[in-house]
Structure 1
Amino acid sequence: MNHMASGATLARSHDDAPNTREPDVERIVAALVARARAAQRRFEQAGQETLDIAAAAAAWAIMEPQRNRRLADLAVRDTGLGNADDKFRKNHRKTLGLLRDLHGVATTGVIARDEEHGVVEIARAVGVVAAITPSTNPAATPANKIINALKCGNAVIVAPSPKGYSSCALLIEFIHAEFAKAGLDPELVQMLPHPIGKAATAALMKLADLVVATGSQANVRMAYTSGTPAFGVGAGNVASIVTASANPDDAASKIAVSKTFDNATSCSSENSVVIDEAIHARMLDALTKQGGVLLDAAQKARLQAAMWHDGKLSARCTARSATAIAREAGLDDIAAREPKFLMVEESGYGPEFPFSGEKLSPVLTVYRARGIDAAIEIVRGIYGYMGAGHSVGVHGADDALAVRLGTQLPVARVIVDQAHCLATGGNFDNGLPFSLSMGCGTWGGNNFSSNLGYRQYLNVTRIAYRIAERVPEVDALLGDYFRRIGR
């Protein structure tokens, strides 16, 4: 069945792609964008059924088990980050959840009618999307952005990280195979040619209609200064509070799952846990039972020397197993115990306390708090250094405390009694939309505070009809002010 007539052939393979070392990078990128734009103009008029089929084709390209396994294995082989089994699960669950969120959603044509106010809303595509994606999720994040873009009638060009290039190229090869079966134009989904460089990425951002950037803060800043409308994400550095009312075994189990999933490549993985002193000893015991190993001061110093060089995280420790990190730090006795994660105690935050920042590894910083007020101030201090706007976890909170955290801390999400890295980007047991890109609001230097979803890939045109005039009396609106303050 041909859902969108096109004479285009499959996009160039990785080996056939032009080399961006050539001096005419902008010309090469402009040609990609021109092909994408031509395909997109036809695609956006094809109707909801075709848009849905395109999104489904991209989803099945990564979810089909054999292809998913190849992508997961290749991601770990070429990036050295995370573990393949968790990436396999992530590729499936994140895509399945996104399909759930998009199922039956209208994204083209008339999508809403407000008869009372005489307003009709029409969904419109944004055009060509530049998708900037990280090495930590070299298949799952591109797939998420591609599916959202297609669902809304857009074309998308991916700028993967250099390490994630091979995984992204394979993903797009799989998508094009599904497109060929469905009669869809492969020029709707493209990627920058190898090797990926800043010049090509900058050219793509400049020429696209929308930039969605996930990854390093350098890429996000480049997106925001590209001159093109952009959505970028803030830095992760999640802290979770364990209150005196928490069940330590339940909290430790969930924190351990979150801390170890995919070797903590997620920006939503806890970097710190702030424990009320009333439950501190029991919580440390529970974390130890989950496979955590608490280091002493000397071991902590050796780990710090291994993890940071000249103030920068070492790639030799990023997203590796706790055992491998312990060996890298010369902690052979710790490595021999095959820990699931390492723990270090800390009391301060800021550049002089590097363990208070994001670690992108199964290393958990432990703080001790004298009550909930102190715990909140510790988290505020941590986020003053890094991670403002993202989210905070809490175990053992009642509704009043959850609301207090959401009112007083600079966070876009409060995750209650859940494995944080699985919950923040949407899960089947909470109501947050599935995403791999978390907006952090103005606290994190972002222009949105929701999970990046299909709504960010749409324009909306509004038709306003004349309705019966309704002019309120001044006293109806200012009467309370007049009574309290006077005229």
Structure 2
Amino acid sequence: MTMEHPSPPSEGPVAELVARARAAQRIYDTWTQEQVDMAVAAAGWAIIEPKRNRELAELAVADTGVGNVEDKVRKNHRKTFGLLRDLKGARSVGVIAEDPARGIVEIARPVGVVCAVTPSTNPGATPANKIINALKGRNAVIVAPSPKGWSTAARLIEFIHAQLDRVGAPRDLVQLLPSPVSKASTAELMRLCDLVVATGSQANVRAAYTSGTPAFGVGAGNVASIVDETADPALAAERIMLSKTFDNATSCSSENSLVIVDAIRPRLLAALKDRGAVMLDAARKKVLQELMWPDGKLSAAVIGKSAREIAERAAAQDAAGRAGWLAIAEANPRALMVDEDGVGPEHPYSGEKLSPVLALYAVPDFDAAARTVERIYGHQGAGHSVGLHSTRPERAMHLGLHLPVSRVIVDQAHAIATGGSFDNGLPFSLSMGCGTWGRNNFSENMNYRHYLNITRISRPIPERVPSQEEIFGEFFAKHGVA
């Protein structure tokens, strides 16, 4: 049995959605683990089936203008398939753990109705991830998408409903906030649900945390990666370009800055150039800055656009340099790079760019690199993650011990690896907690356990009371008894 949310009574379309979700969830609450896992598989197959996957990817790009179809196809498949792998065999119904030595039994309980706030950058993959995790915990879920991503989320949920029908699950387990989505309707949904999981703008995350409902939100992205003098420049460049160009750098895990030790800089820049990155001179850097931040805020003119399209747009507003920009565009670059040495609001390249544009910082050694990343995260991105390309394992440990990051991604394509990968041990997720550094209440990759309440049964065990010597012996030996 799931307790009703204690919010005041409410009427209207949002309240009706929640009431229907609660009725469906009460039915779903009685399902066995086997039945739940069938519902999870059904929701996963709704997006993974190739024709549906491609339709969703095409719709996402057409409606949002962000990213590219082929990468969204890959993302929809890979992120969902990886999540299903993580959930395979995981216990989320009834007893999920027993520890006889401690006399503890853990029982999984649903949270109830989940409000899933999702961004326009991933209008298919992120809702699917949250829906599947919510269903794994026997919850109902209502998606509150970005207005630009509404049609993609609506089509996804149509596909999910058809698959839920096949396993006999109530359709109202998965619903969508009606269009037009507004701040007011999203806020009401947050208030009426039992749990909010918010991914997207920091405004949405702050709204989730102040909604009065328990919430998980994620911090701002602004990933920096260090390339030290021991790295293989070709391998590092290959990984960086794969990460930076994937889906036109729409991921919060895409590198925004490269902090490069001087000894490897010429070889790394050559390797990046060989893989389609173009370095801009100071004049073009200024033009690009005016295009990207015309009023101090990152412009939709560049978010999720290809490097070629960005160069073409720069050409349109730079009459004097038009020919040069068009030559860059004609070469079909994969990424644009600028040298940077400053950090903060007066240096917008030091922040998140959501586009295939990289800021390069030159440093004399690894210690200076770590300090530079710390400066960058003091401006934006604290708590998220840092990349490292190095053969010195102790350097990853140094970053993990001293930088305000929840993940250190070593010798991997950062945007591919941070949210879980088949060749690392992180859970597949599109929502990465950033800890208290990023004003979050968790620092893990969000996973199905965040969608559960866990009840613990405690039974008596043989008493074990330590002696005073066990507790204070070392302290007394070193400092005496006073």
TM range (shorter): over 0.9
Among 454, 460, 463, the alignment partner of 2:457 is 463
Pair 1:386 & 2:380 matched: yes
Alignment of 1:31-430 (within 5 A): 31-330=16-315, 331-430=325-424
Aligned residue-pair number: 464
1:278 is aligned with what amino acid? A
Cα deviation for residue 45 of structure 1 reads 1.4
2:230 is aligned with what amino acid? S
Question: Residues 25, 318 of structure 1: CA spacing in aligned structure 2 closer, same or farther, 3 A cutoff?
Answer: farther
Cα deviation for residue 470 of structure 1 reads 1.2
1:61 is aligned with what amino acid? A
Distance 2:96 2:167 in 1: 25
Question: Residues 26, 366 of structure 1: CA spacing in aligned structure 2 closer, same or farther, 3 A cutoff?
Answer: farther
2:389 is aligned with what amino acid? H
Distance 2:293 2:313 in 1: 12
Distance 1:474 1:300 in 2: 67
Judge conservation of contact 2:230–2:392 (CA < 8 Å) in 1: no
Judge conservation of contact 2:384–2:432 (CA < 8 Å) in 1: yes
Question: Residues 26, 270 of structure 1: CA spacing in aligned structure 2 closer, same or farther, 3 A cutoff?
Answer: farther
Judge conservation of contact 1:435–1:452 (CA < 8 Å) in 2: yes
- What's the secondary structure of 1:412's corresponding residue? strand
1:477 is aligned with what amino acid? I
Q: Percent identity?
A: 64
Judge conservation of contact 1:275–1:375 (CA < 8 Å) in 2: yes
Cα deviation for residue 138 of structure 1 reads 0.1
Distance 1:99 1:180 in 2: 20
Judge conservation of contact 1:25–1:199 (CA < 8 Å) in 2: no
1:230 is aligned with what amino acid? A
Q: Quick check: 326-335 or 141-150, which moved more?
A: 326-335
Distance 2:197 2:116 in 1: 5
Distance 1:336 1:64 in 2: 36
Distance 1:62 1:171 in 2: 7
- What's the secondary structure of 1:309's corresponding residue? coil
Cα deviation for residue 27 of structure 1 reads 1.7
Q: Quick check: 392-401 or 232-241, which moved more?
A: 392-401
Distance 1:424 1:162 in 2: 27
2:255 is aligned with what amino acid? E
1:442 is aligned with what amino acid? T
Gaps of 5+ in 2: 1-8, 316-324
Distance 1:396 1:116 in 2: 43
Judge conservation of contact 2:407–2:418 (CA < 8 Å) in 1: yes
Partner of 1:21: none
Tell me how large the CA RMSD over aligned residues is.
1.0
Distance 1:101 1:473 in 2: 43
Judge conservation of contact 1:272–1:367 (CA < 8 Å) in 2: yes
Judge conservation of contact 1:238–1:392 (CA < 8 Å) in 2: yes
TM-score normalized with structure 2 length: 0.95
TM-score normalized with structure 1 length: 0.94
Partner of 1:20: none
Cα deviation for residue 485 of structure 1 reads 1.5
Distance 1:306 1:232 in 2: 30
1:217-260 deviation digits (Å, cap 9, x = unpaired)? 00000000000000000000000000000000000010000000
Cα deviation for residue 397 of structure 1 reads 3.9
Cα deviation for residue 333 of structure 1 reads 2.4
Judge conservation of contact 1:26–1:203 (CA < 8 Å) in 2: no
Cα deviation for residue 26 of structure 1 reads 5.3
Judge conservation of contact 2:93–2:107 (CA < 8 Å) in 1: yes
Distance 1:65 1:378 in 2: 43
- What's the secondary structure of 1:312's corresponding residue? coil
Distance 2:159 2:120 in 1: 19
